[in-house]
Amino acid sequence: MGIFRSLLRQPTAVFGLVVVIVVVALALAAPLIAPFSPDEQMFDGLTLEGAPMPPGGPFLLGTDTLGRDLLSRMLFGARTSLIIGLVANGVAVAIGLFIGIVAGYLRGLAGNILMRFTDLMMAFPALLLAIVLAALLKPSLWIVAMVIALVNWVQVARIVYTETRGLVERDFIMAERSLGAGHGRILFLHILPHLVPTAIVWGTLGIATTVLLEATLSFLGIGVQPPEPSWGNIIFESQSYFQAAPWLVFFPGLVILLTALAFNLVGDALRDILDPTQRGRG
């Protein structure tokens, strides 16, 4: 509750929190509030010339190139994008925590091998590596989530490694070792709790990155495959109509921007609250 109260004292964090809550609520309630099925091609969803219907009337945000309601597709697309963001980032944080803790605690040859592997992964551009992996595998919701997780864990591992190296030299860890405490007790009862704030901060900040990366992969046509909607593939399907029907790109692009910004604002606020080295900095 103390963390929540601290968040409420920061206007930018409150804005981000409100946006996150609204987006999550709309995604969860999509089957109840969506005016149409996301895959339904309406007879009156296209003009006589076969162009998408503009916003207004029964179609609040207009229709897409196949006569499907854009609002309904964006609501269901929020579920897809958020699921990928949460799952991919959760797996990435778990992998980064594991490798960072093990490398920082063991040090020596094993630690060096793990961190050199981490450095090797960091040397590859994340987007390029994600494109290669997504192209090799058959794109689906869960495959895309795993691909994003496999390219996003390296930053967490590096941060956790550095913090773990500092923790293992602390007096209370030395005291536990002198009392005969095993590696499991030291790792899970004394080191891991100190890394929880770092995991929370990176977990929150990383959601914005994964949502953007999913949108990028879907925009390139190697993310979540139609007809399953996601914000990225809604833009991908409509890019050729950008000038004739700009709302098809503007509305999903706007929600991607707002969602990424909201998670970043909340993550930055949590970092200021949970990281003692950040407190007091203007």
Summarised one tens digit per residue, pLDDT across range 153-170 is: 998 999 999 988 888 888
pLDDT of residue 71: 92
Tokens of 142: 């869960």
pLDDT band at 95 (very low <50, low <70, confident <90, very high): very high
Which residues, 6 or more positions from 63, have their beta carbon under 8 angstroms from its beta carbon? Answer: 42, 45, 46, 52, 53, 69, 70
Mean pLDDT of 114-128: 85
pLDDT band at 281 (very low <50, low <70, confident <90, very high): very low
CB 163 within 8 A of CB 198: yes
* Range scoring the smallest mean pLDDT among 58-62, 86-90, 100-104, 168-172: 168-172
* Range scoring the smallest mean pLDDT among 106-120, 220-234, 252-266: 220-234
Highest mean pLDDT among 28-37, 195-204, 270-279: 28-37
Measure the N-to-C terminal CA separation of the chain; round to a whole number of Å. Answer: 24
pLDDT of residue 282: 42
Q: 6-28 pLDDT, tens per residue?
A: 788 888 889 999 999 999 999 99
pLDDT of residue 73: 92
Residue 229 reports pLDDT greater than 70 = yes
| Of 150, 178, 157, 152, residue with least CA distance to 104 | 157
- Dihedral angle of Cα 89, 13, 234, 33, to the nearest 10 degrees: 110
Domains in the chain, CATH or no CATH each? 68-274 (1.10.3720.10)
Q: What's this model's pTM, rounded to 2 decimal places?
A: 0.82
